[in-house]
Structure 1
Amino acid sequence: MSVAVDYELAGDLKIGQVGIANLRIRSLDVPRLIEEMRGRVQRAPKLFARAAVVIDFGGLTQAPDVDTARRLIDGLRDAGVLPVALAYGTSEIERLSEQLGLPLLAKFRASYERDGEAEAAPPPPAPRAKPEAKAKAEPAPTQPVPAQVAPTAPGLIQSTPVRSGQQVYAANRDLSVLTTIGAGAEVMADGSIHIYGPLRGRALAGAQGWEQARIFCREFHAELVAIAGRYKVLEDIPKELRGKAVQIWLEGEDLKIAALD
């Protein structure tokens, strides 16, 4: 008799634009969620120990009750992270945030809503054309603006080392770093990131959700890399890639890392 095995995680963890982690709850299995987070903290304590976390209940069909939410929050704290807010959602989530004494943050829902956005309502019927207008060519319909827009501003160039505790952010553009990114430092871009020196800190490309962003690095020792919120930490990266020139990109939901020839 075969036994079905559930390989899906109960929660998807994504890195937000300001370095705050977003925990999207997919299954309200509190012990499992706590153990998953405890494992993340144990694997990468420098990144996740006492990290600020926003809890997003938008993946559930209904909001949890207050007691269940409190058990989750207490358990996450015990696992080593610090829940600081709820992601904005329904009126029930708003009431829950008041009962828990936690703020609501809206921007963490944006990328998920783009990913799973329902089909737009059909446009209203066009007005009936007058007989004399039938011979005229009809204008092409306006195309909807895509949810993820590629950055178009000129790239930002960082020519001095990014030291521990520092952060460089290229809003709406690519970022080129000409020198070292030290351990504990962070670089982010809404576009792609090109690093011409050693990367020992964190690099987060596609920070506003652009999934076509890439990271190129000449010497790879990263603590964490992410594209559009999908991330890997050093412990998840094959040892043969460390110290190598690599490129990083998204393939579906999977973050790929490969050596550059």
Structure 2
Amino acid sequence: MDFEQAGELKIGQVGIANLRIRTLDVDRLTREMQERVARAPKLFGRAAVILDFGGLSKMPDVATAKALLDGLRKAGVLPVALAYGTTETDLLSQQLGLPLLAKFRAQYERAEAEPAPAPLPVAEPPPRRARAAAAVPAAPAPSAEATGGAPKPGRMQTANVRSGQQLYAENCDLTVMATVGAGAEVIADGSIHIYGTLRGRALAGAQGNTTARIFCREFHAELVAIAGHYKVLDDVPDSLRGKAVQVWLEQDQIKIAALD
């Protein structure tokens, strides 16, 4: 039995889902999305979805793309744009009447193998006197403390994050000293620490940081995500609900464990 999904769904930093098409099978993709919506209707029902055809060797024709859009709408989500700005994708987006959002493919590019850097040119050996001078160790670079510099501080939220509110910590960690209510969303490029109850959504590593983690004192999250990989509450064992937990990413899988 084939357990590999035809479409990989990731959650973006503003809660928009990015669907990367891996197998161009309209019926199968529609069924997968119907199952996602059925499992978490409050999260995925009428959710904005961006389609990424960058994982395919060949772009779909207009008729197939339109059939996929219709299938996803029937499944309960709203396709709003195409991802990645190749010439072919740009043309398809115009034919479909959808905008093109190139930014969303960056996380996939970072996650996959990057091309090896070009070899550095071989330099001529330095003169003997220069070699002797080079043997003298250079003075160490001044530390951040010595120069008065400091790493960017994390963002702290002391009040409750209420339903409909969204909090984003850019290029740093986020600490919430209160509750994240149902329907609220907290996002950080780094890790997220919640000292109250987490009932809404928490998205860490929003720019693709796979080492980011989520910690909370009382876990009832609608959704948690690390670098776009997500898990909804229905997929979490009952034994972890209401507990203090940590969430991390391991081999592209969300892991959740109780804190001792």
Is TM > 0.5 for Structure 1 vs Structure 2?
A: yes
Task: Mark the structure with the bigger radius of gyration.
Answer: 2
Kept in 1, the 8 Å contact 2:85–2:101? The answer is no
d(CA) in 2 for partners of 1:118, 1:101: 32
Report the equivalent of 1:148: none
Q: Percent identity?
A: 70
Report the equivalent of 1:174: 173
Kept in 2, the 8 Å contact 1:157–1:176? The answer is yes
Matched, 1:129 2:125: yes
d(CA) in 1 for partners of 2:65, 2:32: 17
| Residues 65-92 of structure 1: CA deviation (Å, up to 9, x unaligned) | 1111110011000100000000014211
Alignment size in residue pairs: 246
Kindly report which structure 2 residues correspond to 1:134-173, keeping only aligned pairs within 5 A, or say none: 135=132, 137=134, 152-173=151-172
Report the equivalent of 1:84: 80
What is the CA distance between 1:134 and its match in structure 2?
5.0
What is the CA distance between 1:136 and its match in structure 2?
5.4
Kept in 1, the 8 Å contact 2:161–2:180? The answer is yes
Q: Which sections of structure 2, spanning at least 5 residues, go unmatched?
A: 139-150
- Pick which of 31-40 and 119-128 moved more: 119-128
d(CA) in 2 for partners of 1:99, 1:110: 24
What is the CA distance between 1:15 and its match in structure 2?
0.3
What is the CA distance between 1:6 and its match in structure 2?
1.5
If the length of structure 2 is used for normalisation, what is the TM-score? Answer: 0.91
d(CA) in 2 for partners of 1:135, 1:7: 62
d(CA) in 2 for partners of 1:257, 1:91: 41
Report the equivalent of 1:192: 191
Kept in 2, the 8 Å contact 1:58–1:89? The answer is no
* Of 55, 71, 76, the match for 1:75: 71
What is the CA distance between 1:135 and its match in structure 2?
5.0
Kept in 2, the 8 Å contact 1:88–1:105? The answer is yes
Q: Which sections of structure 1, spanning at least 5 residues, go unmatched?
A: 141-151
What is the CA distance between 1:121 and its match in structure 2?
3.7
d(CA) in 1 for partners of 2:164, 2:36: 21
What is the CA distance between 1:126 and its match in structure 2?
2.8
- Residue 88 of structure 1 aligns with an amino acid whose one-letter code is Y
Report the equivalent of 1:30: 26
- Pick which of 120-129 and 153-162 moved more: 120-129
